[in-house]
Amino acid sequence: MAQPISRREFLKRSASAVAAGTAAASGLATTVQAASGAKRVGMVIDLTLCDGCNECSLACQRKNGHPINPNPQGLTPENYLYVQSVSIDTPSGTQEVHIPRKCMHCDDPACAGLCPFSINTKTPEGPVVINEDYCLGGQKCKAVCPWGIPQLKKGVGFYKKLEPLPFGAGVMYKCDGCIDLVRAGEAPACVTACPQGAIKFGSQEAMRAYAHERAAAISGYVYGDQEAGGTSTYYVSAVPFAAIDAALAVQGEQPRMPVNAENVLHGVNGMAQALLIAPVAGIFAAGFAAHKKLTKGDEANE
């Protein structure tokens, strides 16, 4: 177990690790690439097969030990998968489309790249994971996510140990891609639970290829390959995603589904944003880099 840290110790260690923190805050210490050689995984969510039954959401709630909510109204800290439903007018009539929404597990995730505390990382397997033990709930990840995926739970988490210092507000939660199951060689809970086989799971390359093959076969569309500079979640639809996004907008639904959603890390604005948070966040990040390193030492000495 990691040992708790005192406020005094936190500040002391912060000062000694400013350089590391500044690098993290400026977006330089961004994602962990697939250095271990682990196979990257991905998903295809086939909207032509999804009937909106919500079993995937329930399976996710069960898997994560959340209170069971059969009718979630959006993404929350206790609901990582939300199934949206829209009606789209097409030349062949009105079509109901159901859209399971969750973290896209971006290839170069802005949420991880701009996390001031460097505790949100891209794993070698592909899922982007927030370390809930250290997250301070600063919400930067939500602000820079093209879909606003991470959700804040207030009043919980590590920041409570630092009170009354103004370090955070709670913990950010989102889909972790069932990283524990993936590492055990199993499919995520939502995949296994879907009675329609609407969520496919496999290597990222195989899933990307399958999404495009499937879209070509139905003269349809793929979402998630280009968006945010690339993700490991590929939606396939028979109706254009621009029409889906427009319908979501009319219904006031979140998350939206903008075609060609941008990644703030890939533009001038994104870098400006990174620099903007660096002066303050660098101090915080430094403290956490030091804390994580030193508590690791504690573990090793136990």
- Per-residue string for binding with ligand SF4, 202-231, x by CB under 6 A? --------------------------x---
Q: Applying CB under 6 A, which of residues 23, 25, 114, 194 lies at the interface with ligand SF4?
A: 194
Q: How far apart are CA 98 and CA 54, in angstroms?
A: 10
Nearest C-alpha neighbor of 78 from the set 66, 69, 62, 63: 66
Nearest distance from residue 147's CB to ligand SF4, in Å? Answer: 5
H/E stretch holding 223: strand 221-223
Count CB atoms within 10 A of the CB of residue 87. 11
Count CB atoms within 10 A of the CB of residue 46. 23
H/E stretch holding 23: helix 18-25
Contact status, residue 298 vs residue 181, Cβ threshold 8 Å: no
Nearest distance from residue 22's CB to ligand SF4, in Å? Answer: 22
Binding window for ligand SF4 (CB under 6 A); candidates: 2-10, 94-102, 269-277, 283-291: 94-102
Could you say which residues in the range 246-275 bind ligand SF4, by CB under 6 A? Answer: none
DSSP state, residue 169 = S
Q: Which residue has the tokens 């979402």?
A: 223
Q: How far apart are CA 178 and CA 80, in angstroms?
A: 11
Q: Using the rule CB under 6 A, is 174 a contact of ligand SF4?
A: yes
Count CB atoms within 10 A of the CB of residue 84. 20
- φ, ψ dihedrals at 26, nearest 5°: -85, 5
- Per-residue string for binding with ligand SF4, 121-160, x by CB under 6 A? -------x----------------x-x-xx----------
- Per-residue string for binding with ligand SF4, 45-84, x by CB under 6 A? -----xxxxxxx--xx--x----------------xx-x-
Binding window for ligand SF4 (CB under 6 A); candidates: 71-79, 84-92, 184-192, 234-242: 184-192
Nearest distance from residue 71's CB to ligand SF4, in Å? Answer: 13
Residues that bind ligand SF4 (CB under 6 A): 50-56, 59-60, 63, 80-81, 83, 98, 100, 102-106, 109-111, 128, 145, 147, 149-150, 174-178, 188-190, 193-194, 196, 198-199, 228
